[in-house]
Structure formats: structure tokens, C-alpha cells
Amino acid sequence: MKQNRIDLKFQEDKKLLSIYFSAGFPNLEDTVPILKNLQAAGVDMVEIGLPFSDPLADGPTIQESSTQALRNGMTTEKLFTQLEGIRDHIDIPLVLMGYFNPMMQYGIEKFCKRCEAIGIDGLIIPDLPVDVYNEEYKSMFDQHGLYNMFLITPQTPDARIRYIDEVSNGFIYMVSSAAVTGAKTTFGATQTDYFQRIAHMDLKTPTVVGFGISNTETYTAAISHSKGAIIGSAFIKFLEEKGVDQIKDFVTGIRA
């Protein structure tokens, strides 16, 4: 069986920087240029956000970029069309991140098929609980070679973390604090304790920290106890201010 690009990437002996952006923002046709520039800048993995009208786990930055993307005319079908042939240019792992309702309307099976055909490696669906996924959708995802990644938070009980680790493939998405998405400038002792606690659990699945990472300081804190970090809101703010062409500056800024 073909190896998933996420696994190959996570075998590399380095810390990983992953970037999230809302597809269709700032402009409808920016998806492919953003992906190309991110790869050229040395980013290890990308989460492509499928915009939703009611993103209830997201803070203002991602909400607004999502709303703008929808206004620009982004749809599930439109995104798939933009991504056709993307594997001619991009070889880093690509993950689609979106809420469950638009996927349901597209049809889960059809959605999985399109992802496979395009070369998407996995999905993150914040409002599809792990239990429902296992019971109803896992076999379908497996059939199409798609990973589905789950979130844990500082409040997730240890037993549930063990359960999620058991059924996970790819990586576990560690939400940095009890909060919706949004850039923070520092992490406190609570975060560090939590990162250490999870590191000491010796999970079989690698962890990546996301939510609230915005600069070198938070990035460094995040990767010191995990395999990598995901940046969303801070990158979206950068895109809004500096545009698609300056992406390299953002990435060098973080890794400085």
C-alpha cells in the first residue's frame, strides 16, 4: 500500500512547521499561489481551510477570513476544481480542514473520492467526534487512503487521550489552550505544563501543537515538546496585510 505523505514527512528528523489558511481568502483564486509559495518557503505541511458560515471553534480572524472567502464565491466544488492537478507542483502533505455540515451536503463518500483523486492526505473535522467517525466513516476514509486527525485540549482526560491515540493515524492536533483559534503573543506556565504532560504520556502518535501560535517565541515553545506546530490566524493576518507574494518573509520570521 502507498505510504501516506503525512507519515513520510513525520519520519523526517526535524521539527515541522505547518500553516493553515482559509481557501478563497484574500482572493478567490489565491489557493494555488499560496500553496506554491508556502512550499517554496520551506513549510512542511499545509491545512487548507474549507470556509463555513458558522465556524464555532474559531476566533475572529478565521471567522472573518472564512466569511470573506464565502463572499468571494468559494464553495467545496470550487476548491476541488482549484486543487485539480496540484500534485504536479506540490509534494508536501496537504490536509483539508473544515466543519462537518458542508462535507455532509457534498456527500461524504463523494468528498473522500475527490480528496483521493486530488492527492489530499488527510482531514481535520473539528465537529465530527472521534466516536461517530469510528462508527460511521472510518472504513470509508481508509478505503480512500485518507487520514482523519483529532484534537485534544488541556481539559481532555488522560483516558480519552489514550483512546484517541489508539485510533489515530497521522498526528494528534494538540490545541494549545482552552480557547478558540486566535493568535497569542506568549504561552504561560499552564501551556508548558500541558505540553510536558502530553510529552510524558509517550503516545504512539506524534503530536503537533496548534491554536495561538503567532511568532518565534510561541513557535519555539510549541515545538520544544512536540513534533511541530500549526499557525493559522497569524498567517491569515499576514496575508491580509502583506499579500501572497511575501509569504517567504512570514516563514523566515517564524523560524528565525
Does the annotation mark 47 as catalytic? yes
C-alpha cell at 185: 503573543
Q: Which of residues 62-121 bind another protein (CB under 8 A)?
A: 63, 67, 70, 75-77, 99-106
Give min distance, CB of 227 to another protein, in A.
19
Nearer to another protein, 37 or 61 (CB): 61
Q: Confirm or reject binding of residue 126 to another protein (CB under 8 A).
A: yes
Q: Which letter does DSSP use for residue 174 in this model?
A: E
User: In whole angstroms, how far apart are CA 56 and each of 26, 47, 179?
Assistant: 21, 18, 11
Task: Give the separation between CA 130 and CA 152, rounded to whole angstroms.
Answer: 11
Span from 29-37, 177-185, 224-232, 248-256 in contact with another protein (CB under 8 A): 177-185
- Binding mask 129-168 vs another protein (x if CB under 8 A, - otherwise)? xx-x-----------------xxxx-xxx--x--------
Question: Is 151:128 a contact under the CB 8 Å cutoff?
Answer: no
Nearer to another protein, 153 or 220 (CB): 153
Nearer to another protein, 40 or 201 (CB): 201
Question: Is 245:37 a contact under the CB 8 Å cutoff?
Answer: yes
3-state secondary structure of 189: helix
Q: Confirm or reject binding of residue 28 to another protein (CB under 8 A).
A: no
Q: Please report, as a single letter, which amino acid is at residue 96.
A: L
Span from 25-33, 39-47, 55-63, 237-245 in contact with another protein (CB under 8 A): 55-63
Give min distance, CB of 37 to another protein, in A.
27
Residues 6+ apart with CB under 8 A from 70: 24, 51, 53
Task: Give the separation between CA 55 and CA 145, rounded to whole angstroms.
Answer: 27
Does the annotation mark 158 as catalytic? no
| CA 240 and chain centroid, separation | 19
Q: Which residues here bind another protein, judged by CB under 8 A?
A: 52-60, 63, 67, 70, 75-77, 99-106, 126-130, 132, 150-153, 155-157, 160, 175, 178-180
Please identify every residue annotated as catalytic: 47, 58
